[in-house]
Amino acid sequence: MRSTPDITRKSLLIGSAWGLLALTAGCTKPTTGSEALPSSTPTASAANVAHWSYEGAEGPGDWGNLSPAFQTCTTGKAQSPIDIPAATPKSPAPITLAYSASECDVHDNGHTVELHAGSAQSLTVSGKNYAFKQMHFHDPSEHTIEGTRYDVEFHFVHQSDDGVLAVVGLLAKAGKSNPVWAPFVDAAAGSTSSRSIGSVNLASLLPASLEHFAYEGSLTTPPCTESVLWLVLDQPIELGADQISKLRAVHSANNRPTQELNNRTVTLVNQ
């Protein structure tokens, strides 16, 4: 176990103030150029007015100045991503998956590539159910663990009936080629338009262990809305160097820098 940092503890409070968000469901595609949750599901129209980027005058350091709808990117105190410290105590809040094989397709929204499932998928954590909305990637990773940054990070975005988001963060490092990820990687690299990748079982994309770090954070793109439940898996997966290169050729450096932890608690959850 990693040592626990000397930080002030507070309870993990997950709110439900989602007036800014308008999520798509199932295989519905976002409008081209729409914002991501936390990097990819469309946000409210007010957030779509201002253009943002990962570099230059419209980059992460200036997001809060681009639109009144983006002010939380600057003023928020529970922002994501973060550098994840080791933390105790361990919390008895496992992730229970209700994933099954589904026809899926991919769509490039201009900032990342999303995967959408054609049939209902969901997960449960702490007795609450969250419906799967989409999965997307960042290169390199947005979250770091004790300062270590990974080659890629995948975000599995879910939403509860009352509008709360729960995002599973999956880190990936260079290693052996990963055949279960090949359909997504190849399709992401092959076209900017929507395209089918056939049947995929989302559970097969995840590692054997779902042990994870849980904390209260935010979207990692404008409008940086807070009260997002983050579930960052402790066990990374491996992707082949060629697979990472394919993703990087489509979108690279699409990661927000880590944000201050402030008084939040990060809890390692045994699975």
Query: Which token pair is 269?
Result: 């959850």
Q: Would residue 251 show up in a list of annotated catalytic residues for this protein?
A: no
| pTM for this entry | 0.83
Q: In this structure, is residue 23 part of a structural domain?
A: no
Preceding peptide of 207 cis, ω within 30°: no
Say if 204 falls within a structural domain. yes
Distance of CA 107 to the CA centre of its chain: 16
Distance from C-alpha of 44 to C-alpha of 142, rounded to nearest angstrom:
23
Per the domain annotation, does 21 fall within a domain?
no
| Predicted pLDDT of residue 87 | 60
Q: Is residue 22 part of a domain?
A: no
User: Looking at the domain assignment, is residue 8 inside a domain?
Assistant: no
Task: Give residue-wise pLDDT tens across range 148-181.
Answer: 999 999 999 999 999 999 999 999 999 999 999 9
Number of H-type helices and E-type strands within the chain = 5, 15
Q: How many domains does the chain have?
A: 1
The residue behind tokens 């390199």 is: 140
Distance CA 232, CA 263 (A): 18
9 belongs to a structural domain: no
Domain holding 198: CATH number?
3.10.200.10
Look-up of token digits 């579930």: 231
Count other C-beta atoms under 10 Å from residue 9's C-beta: 11
| Active-site hit among 111, 143, 155, 212 | 111
Domain that holds residue 172: 45-269
Query: What is the C-alpha to C-alpha distance for residues 174 and 12, in angstroms, rounded to an integer?
Result: 33
pLDDT in tens, 218-249: 999 999 999 999 999 999 999 999 999 999 99
